[in-house]
Chains A and B, each alone.
Chain A
Amino acid sequence: MIVNTTKGEMDDSLLEKREGSLDNDNESTTWVEYWLAGELVHRSVHVALKKNVSSAVEAASFN
């Protein structure tokens, strides 16, 4: 697979792949990194938002 890197497009067989993830109430996140000789040359992140923003509205009472 060809990967876009800071060195240009490279075949992933030439790179070290590292992956990670984070999951909590707010988000489910994954990332993938490609390293070349100890240098980070690609990092992509995918964040799936779980938590919305919500505003409460109310009709006031006269009494």
Chain B
Amino acid sequence: MANTQAMTTSFMGELMTATHNFGTAPVRATGATDSFKGALYLASATVNASTTAYSSTNEVTGTNYTAGGVAVTFGTPPTATNTSTTAGVAFVTPSASITYTNVTLTTAFDAVLIYNSTQSNKAVSVHTFGSQTVTAGTFTLTMPANTTSTALIRLATT
């Protein structure tokens, strides 16, 4: 037997469920799953890795679009899978498409911010796509398959 330096895969999965807390906040009063939302941003916006929380600045506006966007459903808990003795992947993907129904968004937008509306709207991830507009129609974001390599949100050891 030999020991192998590694970040444990179970830890990565537990990061996604707030099992570990190296700091002092947030204090979680409940074990319930948090609620998440998806907000659309104009092509002229600058949401990126430095974004810390949802903001209405440069968010799209238009008919039937509510500031803050729509609910994002994570119906399947995060999965953590070992890929070797030194590597693993923890991943999670929304379990349903993100849909904005019967909206008119005439200014081009090209990004969605997924954020935690339970935890002070803290940012989770930004996903970009080709610039779009919508007119009296529906904008749908379909998720990739929830696998080790394609899941929407992944933590991986290298």
Contact B134 A52 (CB under 8 A): no
In chain B, residues 114-158, which have Cβ atoms closer than 8 Å to a Cβ of chain A? 125-130, 132-144, 150-158
The verdict on B7 contacting chain A, using a C-beta distance below 8 Å, is yes
| Inter-chain CB contacts under 8 Å: number | 100
Count of chain B residues with Cβ under 8 Å from any Cβ of A?
35
The majority secondary structure among interface residues of chain B is strand
Chain A 5-41, CB within 8 Å of chain B: the 1/0 string? 1100000000000000010001101011100000011
Q: What's the least CB distance linking A56 to chain B, in Å?
A: 5
The majority secondary structure among interface residues of chain A is strand
Which residues of A come within 8 Å of B, CB atoms?
Answer: 4-6, 22, 26-27, 29, 31-33, 40-59, 61
Which residues of B come within 8 Å of A, CB atoms?
Answer: 5-7, 12, 91, 102, 104, 125-130, 132-144, 150-158
